[in-house]
Amino acid sequence: MAIAATLVVLLLVAPGQAASAPDDTTAILETIEILAPRHGQLTADHPEAVSVTSRERLDRSAAAVLTDAFRDVPAVHLQSTTAGQGSPFIRGLTGSAVLNLVDGMRLNNAPYRSAPNPWLALIDPDLVERVELVRGPSSVLYGSDAMSGVVQVLTRRARGYGDTPRGSGRLKTSLSSADRGAGLRAELGVGHDKLAFRGGVSQRSAGDLRAGGEVGRQAYSAYDMVTADGSLSWLPRPEQELRLDYQFARQPRSPRHDELVAGFGQDEPSSDLFLFQPLQRSFAHAAYFVELPANALVESVQADLALQEIRENRRSRDHGSVIESDERNRSTLLGITAQAHSTTAGGSRLTWGGESYFDVVDSARDAIDTSTGDRQAVTPRFPDGSRMNSYGLYLSVEQDLARDLLLRWGLRYSLFDIHLASTSSSEAVDLKPDDLTGSVGLSWKATRSLRVVGNFQRGFRAPNIFDLGTLGPRPGNRFNVPATDLEPEELYSIDAGLKFADHRARGEVLVFHGWYRDKISSVLTGEQTPSGRDIVTSANVASVKLLGVEANGSIDLGRRLELRAGLAWVRGQQDDGAGNRQPADRTPPLSGSLGLPWQLGEQLWLEPSLRFAAPQDRLSDRDLADPRIDPAGSAGWATVELRARWFPRADLSVTAVLENLGDVSYRVHGSGMQSPGFNFRLALDASFD
């Protein structure tokens, strides 16, 4: 670990001149051109911490699901409860503490879990143009849930070809050995300079995943996924664009591995049956953008309208029970946003706008006696007909205080209208929390290539329908009952550090400290269900302190060879409100990566890399009771990987990835299953115009 830390420091202070690789994942950027996110434009001059995974980097990873591509993103810890899913941790937090957006619109919905969840993995990686991660609270621009960061997924747009209409196509096939997986992607496009359409379909099938060493194939880890998408772009004038998008993804029958296999501290699994049947997301989006004349008070305006439907149906049966649960859960989320950019007479740059989201939750559950076949309607997982509406107004201001000093500050007001519908055992509940939050950031250009940055930010999260109304099994052999008197969470964060960028080397090192107040946590009631699950409920009982360091950088070694490195460490301490202090839940261990991207001419690219994590034995009481986590602590690990991409022709690429070359048996901290053993991934991608 000391060697890795030393390499990162060397990268950050290395003098000289060399080009960076703009197509790769990096946290320091010359310019990020952003259409959907509300920053408008970010550069290396700005104080925020941002990481970007480009389309090229996604192709080089040959990722089966989108979250697989996050494994080597600096300062991101990726947890996988089961195969075909993944949940990123940013600055020690995940789930509903991280806001996920698709083309500027919320993926997070009213029943979004505070724990790791599967929804981000339902976005086809071949649909994505790039992924932008803003690290740190971002509630001013993005509202509730942006506690520790924002994951912004920007999808590929239809493109025109000039005055004459032309067509295009793409066919991609992929294989992987560890899960005997196979995938196929087909696309067609047509258009000219004013009107263009692109559409595609994908299918992937994966068998049980083989882990490293002597573990072998892991039962109940096979899954299938199908996706479809379309995008229409119309430019009635050069300064205007109307974009229409549709996305669909479905995993028809995904087993929950950690429920079906005995975990740490268990002699028997928690469930005899546990299937997501199906996991499904559909998304329709319209965006209109107009750039106004240079002398106008408002320079540009964007308006968005989106409708998202997420289904999470389940079939489950506790171990040893004859009662099977058949659930149908659906969230229908309508979002309306508008944003404008302006420049004042004094040169201040303004981003301002408003948004409204309307979310309705439908939920039903039947209990089936498998010994008799009798079916009976019972209380659903969420109160059927519950809704969560939100409204927000925001302003972000960027000012040059001096030639080398940049200030960014902002304010947001948010209002919520939450209705928890009545059930057979509880009355209806109405909550109307509101919030005023702000942020301030400074960036000082100390030298030609070095900037000193600092940010103070406040994040907040309103309790959602999951927090308030969940009734049913939870991971770790728990059973959740509703809580109807929750308050919003809030997080105060300060970070400071250095950003270095010239034409030879670039990097950053940031230290952050966060104070998490009124954290909604799962607490034991002291009771158990007849099947032996511990009954828990949610409460604003915890406060958490988070301290961490993020460092990453790259340096050109010459001859198109680059050295890249990243390191992240976070330490969490929580107080349960009764004076009992212990480590925070699921805190990621020290982790990092090293890579040597090498461009061998115009046709071949190679990258050997190393990923590693230190042991994590700082466990909370909840961690100790979680069958996904070894009570003795998660062991450290290191794996070596080799990636290659070859272009035999301009319209054909071959991507090969040799993952876990040492066939190491390891488990990422908090994950529900062992990581892949030696894995060979191959992708053939052909296109035509």
At residue 380 the predicted structure's pLDDT band, cuts being 50, 70 and 90, is very high
Q: What are the pLDDT digits (tens) for 449-505?
A: 999 999 999 988 999 999 998 888 877 778 888 888 899 999 999 999 999 998 899
**Whole-prediction pTM value?**
0.91
Q: List strand residue ranges (DSSP E) for 16-141, in order.
A: 31-33, 41-43, 49-53, 76-79, 87-90, 98-102, 105-106, 128-135
What is the percent of the chain where pLDDT is above 70? 94
* C-alpha separations of 615 from 87, 205, 287 in Å: 20, 33, 46
Confidence of residue 5 (pLDDT cuts 50, 70, 90): very low
Give the list of residues 6+ apart from residue 642 with CB closer than 8 angstroms, or none: 606, 607, 608, 609, 657, 658, 661
Instruction: Kindly report the backbone phi and psi dihedral angles of residue 387, in degrees, each rounded to the nearest multiple of 5, phi listed first.
Output: -145, 155
Tell me which residue has tokens 């195969």: 83
Backbone torsions φ then ψ of 436, nearest 5 degrees: -120, 120
Whose structure tokens read 């060493």? 213
Q: How would you label 421-454 residue by residue, b for 16+ Cβ within 10 Å and e otherwise?
A: bebeebeebebebebebebbbbbebeeebebbbb
Three-state DSSP class for 125?
Answer: helix
Instruction: Quote the pLDDT of residue 41.
Output: 53
Where does residue 143 fall: left (phi above 0), alpha (psi -120 to 50 degrees), or beta otherwise? left
Spatial CB neighbours of 281, under 8 Å, sequence gap ≥ 6: 119, 122, 123, 247, 248, 249, 250, 308, 309, 310, 311
Q: Are 153 and 192 in contact (CB under 8 A)?
A: no
In whole angstroms, what is the distance from residue 489 CA to residue 598 CA?
45
Q: Which of 468, 461, 466, 455 is nearest to 435 (CA)?
A: 461
Share of the chain above pLDDT 90, in %: 73
CA–CA distance, 315 with 311 (Å, rounded to integer): 13
The pLDDT confidence band at residue 19, using thresholds 50, 70 and 90, is: very low
Q: What is the CA radius of gyration of the chain?
A: 24
Residue 12 has pLDDT above 60, yes or no: no
Name the residue ranges covered by the structural domains of the chain.
2-688
Q: Which long-range contacts (CB under 8 A, 24 or more apart) does 613-616 make?
A: 613/588, 613/589, 613/637, 613/638, 613/668, 613/669, 614/1, 614/589, 614/590, 615/589, 616/587, 616/588, 616/589, 616/669
CA–CA separation, 639 and 635 (whole Å): 13
Counting Cα atoms < 13 Å in the Cβ hemisphere of 642 gives 6
Six-digit token pair at 467? 């927090």
Q: In whole angstroms, give the CA distance from residue 510 to residue 572.
A: 17
- 97: its two tokens: 């503490």
Residues in the chain: 689
The answer, yes or no, to whether residue 22 has pLDDT greater than 60, is no
- Taking residue 343's Cβ as centre, other Cβ atoms within 10 Å add up to 14
Tokens encoding 453: 């940055």
pLDDT at residue 423 tops 90:
no
Asked if 410 and 396 touch (Cβ cutoff 8 Å), the reply is yes
Question: Which tens digit of pLDDT belongs to each residue from 196-251?
Answer: 999 999 999 999 999 999 999 999 999 999 999 999 999 999 899 999 999 999 99
CATH architecture of 2-688: Beta Barrel (2.40)
**For the chain, how are helix, strand and coil distributed in percent, rounded to 5?**
10, 55, 35
| pLDDT of the residue at 42 | 56
pLDDT exceeds cutoff 80 at 11: no
pLDDT at position 43 is 60
pLDDT tens, 103-148?
Answer: 999 999 999 988 888 899 999 999 999 999 999 999 899 999 999 9
Residues 6+ apart with CB under 8 A from 62: 174, 643, 655, 656, 657, 681, 682, 683
Q: What is the dihedral of CA 158, 230, 59, 216, to 10 degrees?
A: 180
